[in-house]
Amino acid sequence: MSKEVINNFCLYFKETEIMDNAIQVLFILIAFILLVYLVWNIIYFRGKKIVKDTSTQLKNLLELNSKYTFDYDIKKQYKFYETFQSKPKFDKYELETLFDKSILYNYGLVIVAEKVLKNRKLYEEYQKKVSNLKSEILKEETKNLHISYKGYIKIEKNLFLKYKLSQPILNSDIICTATYTSPKGRNHYSKKAAYSIVEAPKRYELLQKRIEQQNSEEMRRKHARSQMTDKLRYTILKRDKFKCQICGRTVDDGIKLHVDHIIPVSKGGETVPSNLRTLCQACNLGKSDEIE
């Protein structure tokens, strides 16, 4: 049956005269390549198994790997945009403001920055240790393993590169873009700046501090203003003998008297008798917020 098939097959080629010399050579070549590939694979797999089972360099590498975990969940870029309806506002805008805003409203960026910094530190450490792992196989030993020394080293090197942990992301940028498009859409302007994410934690802290300061300053002002009671006001008027401390006029001159902060509350002045004085409305308004 199979003989018949083969005969028919050969006959077919003979009849069609396709099986000429060139194709025969090609067949032989392909068969040869396949054979070489197969044999090489068998040898290589056998070699691989031997190296895997005996290499202390690989064993040490795997042990080292188990001690290191890098964070791969980091993007290379984080993008933020601000669009403007007015060209002057766009021109005046500083991209650092957008950087600050993006950090302040996305605490996740600070966490990402910490991951990047941790990756850098750990990866540097890891690489240093990896570079210290040298092949420890001796020529003598490879003889006993029935493998060539050169082949062993080559396989070991390949496996070492394969097993080495890949480099995690060691930097990430915050890309800030501001754009302005003219009302009819004819002109389009944009400006862009990149900031390294590792600057985020420091910046965040600074911005938080600034906000805290602003809040505490507001509290101080509120407190200072609430200290001004009717009783205190009367005490000051009485102390100043109901006279404007600049022009000397009294209510008898048809003016209204005010109790004024010498150093204004906005400039850090407190509501205490030593910082208060009686002024008429005209003198008080002329003074406004200035410190004399």
Residue closer to Zn ion, measured from CB, 248 or 268: 248
Work out how close the CB of 249 gets to Zn ion at its nearest, in angstroms, rounded to a whole number.
Answer: 5
Q: Provide, rounded to whole angstroms, the least separation between the CB of residue 289 and Zn ion.
A: 17
Taken as a whole, the chain contains a residue count of: 292
User: Smallest distance, Å, CB 210 to Zn ion?
Assistant: 39
Question: Cα(161)–Cα(58) distance, rounded to whole angstroms?
Answer: 10
Q: How many CA atoms lie within 13 A of 42 on its CB side?
A: 5
Binding site for Zn ion (CB under 5 A): 244, 246-247, 280, 283
Nearest Cα residue to 138 out of 54, 231, 41: 54
What angle, 0 to 180 degrees and rounded to 10, lies between the N-to-C axes of helices 21-54 and 149-163?
A: 80
Residue 83 tokens read as 């669009």
Q: How far is the CB of 237 from Zn ion (least distance, A)?
A: 14
CA distance from start to end of the chain: 121
Question: Which residue's CB is nearer to Zn ion, number 193 or number 246?
Answer: 246
> By C-beta, is 60 or 250 nearer to Zn ion?
250
Work out how close the CB of 270 gets to Zn ion at its nearest, in angstroms, rounded to a whole number.
23
**Cβ-based nearer residue to Zn ion, 95 or 283:** 283
Burial 143-152 (b: 16+ CB within 10 A, else e): eeeebeeeeb
Q: Are strands 77-84 and 173-181 parallel, antiparallel or unpaired?
A: parallel
CA dihedral over 177, 181, 185, 186, signed as positive or negative? negative
Residue 55 or 278 with smaller CB distance to Zn ion: 278
CB-nearer residue toward Zn ion: 83 or 281:
281
As given in the structure block, the two tokens for residue 60 are 């040490």
Please tell me the distance from the alpha carbon of residue 265 to that of residue 222, in angstroms, as a whole number.
9
Closest distance of CB 238 from Zn ion, Å: 18
C-beta of 137 vs 279, nearer to Zn ion: 279
* Cα–Cα dist 186/167, whole Å: 45
Burial bucket for residue 257 (CB in 10 Å: 0-12, 13-18, 19+): buried
User: Residue 284 Cβ, how far from Zn ion at the closest point, in Å?
Assistant: 7
